[in-house]
Amino acid sequence: MIDFELLRDRSILLITPGGPLEKADFEQLAKEVDPFIASKGNLVGLMIYTESFPGWENFGALVAHLKFVADHHRQIERIAAVTNGGFLKIMPRIADHFVRAQIKHFEYKEKDRALAWLEAGK
């Protein structure tokens, strides 16, 4: 389950996983983000805000996640992983090989600092 908010005036997408990620989460994200990208261009930033990564509900959710990344990574300039969890702490080093966006890790308590870093990418 993903809660998300598109800060349209800042071109930043905030994602907060609330439980294991589901296939429908990525379909809903695409429905919200794709029209915005089509009309405004790239997203300045994406923030993943969670104390720890909740994983995926099933294999279909993992595939949907990978497809979402493949379809959108060229339209996102910066990604802030704001977490204390181990998986998302190492994600920037892994994802650097697969995505165009600049990725940076922040501790969970540094949400405001992460948002400022995303905004600085404008």
Query: For the chain, what are the domain ranges?
Result: 2-119
What per-residue confidence (pLDDT) applies to 97? 47
Per-chain mean pLDDT for the chain:
88
Higher confidence at residue 98 or residue 58? 58
The answer on pLDDT for 89 being more than 70 is no
Location of structure tokens 């595939």: 63
Please tell me the CATH code under which domain 2-119 is placed: 3.30.750
Among residues of the chain, what percentage have pLDDT more than 70? 87
* Alpha carbon distance 49, 80 (integer Å): 8
**CA dihedral sign of residues 102, 106, 86, 61:** negative
Q: Mean pLDDT throughout 12-38?
A: 95
pLDDT tens figures, 47-85: 999 988 888 999 999 999 889 988 888 899 998 989 886
What per-residue confidence (pLDDT) applies to 84? 85
Tally the C-alpha atoms within 13 A of residue 31's C-alpha that lie toward its C-beta.
Answer: 7
Range in 34-38, 64-68, 86-90 with the lowest mean pLDDT: 86-90
Is beta strand 43-49 parallel, antiparallel or unpaired with respect to 76-82?
Answer: parallel
Contact call for residues 67 and 56 (beta carbons, < 8 A): no
